Amino acid sequence: MTTPTPLQPTLPYLGGAGERRALLAGMTFLEVTEAGGLDLTGLARWLDDHVVDAGVMPRLSVVLEPPTGTVALRPGVGALAQANADLPRILTTARLRVLDALRGLIASPSDDRFLRACIFLGRVRREDGHWVARPEAAAPLSGIVLSLFAVAILSDRSFYDRQLCVCDTCGRVSFELVEGVRRACATHAPRASGVNHKATTPRSKALGRARKTGST
Ligand SMILES: [Zn+2]
């Protein structure tokens, strides 16, 4: 069995190699699209390294993100300029959709429709006791990335419910470092200078307390 090597230090050690690899793939997509400079070659490389080599999908010739558009990954000379011009909007749309879905998971109440959609569409499924990502060839780029996150999240849902953080400012995904801070990264976290009274109620405490409103 091969173990994917350069794991980011911030990645939790959960599940097996496949789950960690899927999480790394999703987080890497968000990282490489954060600065907005990813070109066709970079996208093709991300797909090769994290999707094709992992056995998630065969090599794609076209990437889709409806209704924003489609882009050929290896266009002919005449089509290269158009493909490069179309790519940023496709990447931005895909990135925003992925972040929206992940933010839903940490919202209150939690919105996990993307997980159910991934299962319903067969983009994630159980194989040999593990969740695996198997998006169809016509899946949008955001759907491919979300299927990778779904593999990791479905493998240890309670961990992600407790620890997943998505930064409101930069979209960075991390795992809770400061109790109650779920919508900021280390860079954009509110100053923790011992002044505690204005901090938002830590979710864990809020959950531990009986709800005034009773059941819903
Ligand atoms: Zn941030």
Going by their DSSP bridges, the two strands 164-166 and 173-175 should be labelled as antiparallel
Over residues 145-180, the pLDDT tens digits come to 999 999 999 999 999 998 999 999 999 999 877 778
pTM: 0.82
What is residue 38's predicted lDDT score, i.e. its pLDDT? 92
The answer to whether position 11 is within a domain reads: no
The answer to whether position 188 is within a domain reads: no
The answer to whether position 211 is within a domain reads: no
Span from the CA of 125 to the centroid of ligand 1 (angstroms): 32
- Number of structural domains the chain divides into: 1
Q: Which pLDDT band, with edges at 50, 70 and 90, does 37 fall under?
A: confident
| pLDDT > 70 fraction of the chain, expressed in percent and rounded | 81
The answer to whether position 191 is within a domain reads: no
The answer to whether position 194 is within a domain reads: no
Span from the CA of 58 to the centroid of ligand 1 (angstroms): 33
| Cα(151)–Cα(22) distance, integer angstroms | 7
The answer to whether position 150 is within a domain reads: yes
Span from the CA of 182 to the centroid of ligand 1 (angstroms): 11
Span from the CA of 212 to the centroid of ligand 1 (angstroms): 33
The answer to whether position 143 is within a domain reads: yes
Going by their DSSP bridges, the two strands 130-133 and 164-166 should be labelled as unpaired
Span from the CA of 166 to the centroid of ligand 1 (angstroms): 8
* Helix-strand-coil split of the chain, %, nearest 5: 45, 10, 45
| Cα(85)–Cα(88) distance, integer angstroms | 7
Span from the CA of 10 to the centroid of ligand 1 (angstroms): 14
Angle between the N-to-C axes of helices 77-106 and 17-34, in degrees from 0 to 180, rounded to the nearest 10: 110
Q: Which of 22-26, 104-108, 202-206 has the least mean pLDDT?
A: 202-206
First and final C-alpha spacing in the chain: 46
| Tokens at 28, concatenated | 């890497």
Span from the CA of 174 to the centroid of ligand 1 (angstroms): 9
The answer to whether position 42 is within a domain reads: yes
The residue range of the domain holding 44 is: 17-162
